[in-house]
Structure 1
């Protein structure tokens, strides 16, 4: 009798019975949502301000929800990062991505950099090595956590996550391309570059499409580089090699009355992961707009990155 009971128990636990364990009425419980430990408030129309503690620092980001967003769509997402000493709110205003996001349909994340310790000046920054090498802030982990939190609440296309930024934010875009190439589909840097640390330790595991926007009159991040930062030519060559592109770019020029804008296209890249440089002869350390520089960085950035997903050109 004892063996009969054991046999019945084993048969039951293995799914035995009249339907052979294919009972369609048996459903798994829904997955437990992740514990976000963040607080979000409405900051402006369709913009939320979210804060949470990361690595013992209170961190903040702003999330722009496009007008086309719904529970059923699968829109792309752009991370846009401010420069050294800047902040997310001013970056929201001078980039004007929010209007493009409503027009084109994509989510926008504006993360806020943390402050350096007071003995290092206390400026807001992104930890990219170089002049920020004494920082202990885990910005890569912070950005990754922001993406996890947003993904838990909104249905965006995780194969179409893009990163951009100005100056130190541009440097951070390259750090993301090097360290999170499994998540970041394409990047664009405005007046940024790669620190020696990012350049030497870059570990991209796939071709990453790259757009660099720069000015020959930039004295903050010089085109020719400096002690802690690579030249723009070195940066472009690095990504052309990483993406298996032709190393000699095709150049186009738009001439204006007192300046020129050069467009360098590195072609025939693996997975069509293009590398592109927009170089202005008169531009300094600024975010360019059509009315003063002959082209709009924001429009060109979206034109470029939106062509790609994690697997190459769409």
Structure 2
């Protein structure tokens, strides 16, 4: 009994920030909240007190939050640069263990509300700089980043979608959340999520060009890009002379995947001052 009492006292005396950063959840062990779970990774040199910029990363279909840390880029480009990385887990369909992001209103769990609940829970574990919270994702997770931009963009400072688009049905005129800063990275040869999207059963993946048309109307950008850049890896079109926010579309020659350099391109976009 005395041993258990001493353990309880010691655990009470441990600094709360250390508890948040070391236990009970992280890249492998999930942080559990009502409605689902998520994973997080703190910077290796974090002092346990400084409020951190944070980036959400939504995994692809049939993947999970813990799997996104295994590629390395989120750790080397974001976590090691001082970011808190937050990786929510998609919900599973009834009778299935496949995690997914339907990324359209009325389909399954309310993932917009769930994501905002994840943000609040993470902020209770680790101090977060609310002026520098971003969202990103791959494939279905990229579509989820678009959904957060369109329906809850005011909670984030910027977005990076890789190989995803805003899934149909899209709002008729403008996004409810208003203008945002958003970068789309997409493979020209992507056949899994083509630039034009494709129909699957009774739903459609969404069209990148349709998504950008909606985003431009929302931000009142002109139709033609303000800047076009070409390099060995990406061909980019950028809209900056908007009433608010900014948009960028970068294509690479590959197919459906995370291209080399995506994280550096994304971080540069998120951190660059608006022109």
Q: Same fold judged by TM-score > 0.5? A: yes
Q: Per the shorter chain, which TM-score range?
A: 0.7 to 0.9
Checking the alignment, whether the CA contact within 8 Å between 2:145 and 2:159 is kept in structure 1 is: yes
Residue 108 of structure 2 is aligned to residue 136 of structure 1: yes
Superposed displacement of residue 169, structure 1:
0.2
Contact 2:136 2:161 in 1 (8 A): yes
Paired position in structure 1 for 2:240: 267
CA distance in 2, matches of 1:279, 1:252: 11
Which residue of structure 2 lines up, in the alignment, with residue 299 of structure 1?
264
- Match for 2:189 among 184, 199, 217? 217
2:254 is the alignment partner of 1:283: yes
Q: Which structure is larger by alpha-carbon Rg, 1 or 2?
A: 1
Residue in 2 aligned with 1:97? 74
Give the length in aligned residue pairs. 250
CA separation in 2, counterparts of 1:267 and 1:175? 21
Q: Which runs of 4+ in 1 moved over 4 A?
A: 198-202
2:125 counterpart of 1:153: yes
> Which consecutive unaligned segments of at least 5 residues does structure 1 have?
1-38, 290-295
Establish whether residue 51 from structure 1 lines up as the match of residue 24 from structure 2. Answer: no
Counterpart CA distance in 2 for 1:66 and 1:53 is 22
Closer, same or farther: CA 206–288 of 1 in aligned 2, 3 Å: same
Aligned to 1:3: none
SS of 2:217's equivalent in the other structure is helix
Among 70, 93, 100, the alignment partner of 1:125 is 100
Aligned to 1:181, the other structure's residue is in SS state helix
TM-score under structure 1 normalisation? 0.72
What is the match of residue 206 of structure 1? 178
1:224–1:232 Cα contact (<8 Å) kept: yes
Q: Does 1:238 align with 2:208?
A: no
CA distance in 2, matches of 1:237, 1:201: 10
C-alpha distance in 1 between matches for 2:173 and 2:124: 31
User: How many angstroms apart in 1 are the aligned matches of 2:231 and 2:33?
Assistant: 47
What RMSD in Å do the two structures reach over aligned CA positions? Answer: 2.6
1:61 aligned partner? 38
Q: Which runs of 5+ in 2 are unaligned?
A: 1-21
